[in-house]
Amino acid sequence: MVTVPPAVDSTRTAVSPGLPQARGALSASLVAVLSGRESTLPSDADIRRTDPYGDDLQLVLYALYELHYRGFAGVADELEWHPGLLRVRAAAEAVFLRALREDTAGGSDVQQSVDALLVEPVGDGGQSVSHYLQREGALWQLREYAVLRSLYHLKEADPHLWVVPRLRGRAKAAMVAIEFDEFGAGRAENIHARLFADLMADLGLDPAYGTYLDLAPAEVLATVNLMSLFGLHRSLRGALVGQFTTVEVTSSPGSRRLAKALRRAGAGKAAQRFYDEHVEADAVHEQVVRRDVLGGLLKDEPHLAPDIVLGIQTTEHLEDRLAGHLLSAWRKGATALRTPATSTV
C-alpha cells in the first residue's frame, strides 16, 4: 500500500475543473487522495486485475494525466510529480499499453499503414460516425458528439507538443509548423480549442474546460489517454507521431462531413466554423505530416517504424471502439453519454 500526504490547495479554482466522480474502487481511492480525504492509493495488484478498457482504470489514467494539464480545483500543483501517484500511473499505463499491443497487429511497414488511412469507407460508411451524422444525425446527437470530443478538443494539440523536444531537424520544424496553425497562428481567437469552445456555446453547451468529464464513457477517455500516454514518454515518441499522423490524415474528410451535418441540423455559424477550419487546414497538414514529420523522423530514427505503426493502429482501434459505442446507442435512439447533458440555453 502506498500513502500520499494530503496536499490540497483551496486557491486553485479559476481555471481548473472539479475532481470527477469515481467509477470504481481504483478511481475512488485516487479521488479521495487527490481531495485530501484519504492517503492510501490502490496497489499494483489491484490495478493489474482491472479491465484495461473499463471506466475505472481509464478514469484513473485520465485524472493522473490531467495533473500535467490544468489540474483540478483544490488539488495542489505539487502532486503532479508525487512519486506515489507516478507509480500508480505507471502501473495503470502498463495494463493499458499491454492490452493495446495485444489487440493490434503490429508491424513495421509505415507506408502501408499510412496508405490504409487514405482509403475512405465504402458505401455509406456504416461504421463511421461522421458518415452517420452527415446522413441522419439529429441535433441532439451532434450535441452529444461535441460533449464527448470536448475532452480532447478543449486542449487540442496540447498532448502533441510533448513530442517536439524529442524530434530534430525536418521532423521538428514540420511538427512546429503544424502546431503553430493549431494554436491560431499567433491569434488567440483562432486557437482551435477556442474555436471548439465557440462551437459548444453555439450548440447550447457549457464550453468550460472539463465540464463534461463525468458524462464521458471509457471509450472516450481511452482516446484522450492514448495521446497523453504517448506524449509523456520519450520512449513512445514514434507512437505519438503515428497517432498524430492518423488524426491529420483522416481529419479533413471527416470534418467536411461533420460541417455538412451541422448545417443540415441547423447549427449556427460558430459551430460550423470549427469543422470548416479543419477541412482546409488539415488537408495541408496531411501533406506536411506525411512528407516531413514522418519522413524526417524515419530518416533520423528508422528503428522507430514499429512504434509509428503502433500509434496508427492503436488510434484506429480505440476510435473503432468509440464508434461502436456511439452508433450502437444512437441507432436505438438512446444517449451515448453516461447521463444526458443539459443545455445552457
pLDDT score of 282: 65
Q: Which helix (H) or strand (E) holds 41?
A: strand 40-41
AA identity, residue 186 = G
CATH code for residues 110-330: 1.20.910.10
Q: Is 281 or 241 the better-scoring residue by pLDDT?
A: 241
Picking from 192-206, 232-246, 328-342, which range would have the lowest pLDDT averaged per residue?
328-342
pLDDT score of 5: 47
Helices vs. strands in the chain: H and E counts, helices first: 15, 4
Cβ(148)–Cβ(255) below 8 Å: no
Dihedral sign from CA coordinates of 181, 183, 189, 190 = positive
295-306: per-residue pLDDT in tens? 999 999 999 999
Take residue 63 and report the three cell numbers written for it: 485524472
Q: Where in the chain is the domain with CATH 1.20.910.10?
A: 110-330
User: pTM to 2 decimals?
Assistant: 0.93
What percent of the chain stands above pLDDT 70? 93
Kindly state the DSSP code that residue 3 receives in the 8-state scheme.
E
The position carrying cell 520512449 is 235
Confidence of residue 341 (pLDDT cuts 50, 70, 90): confident
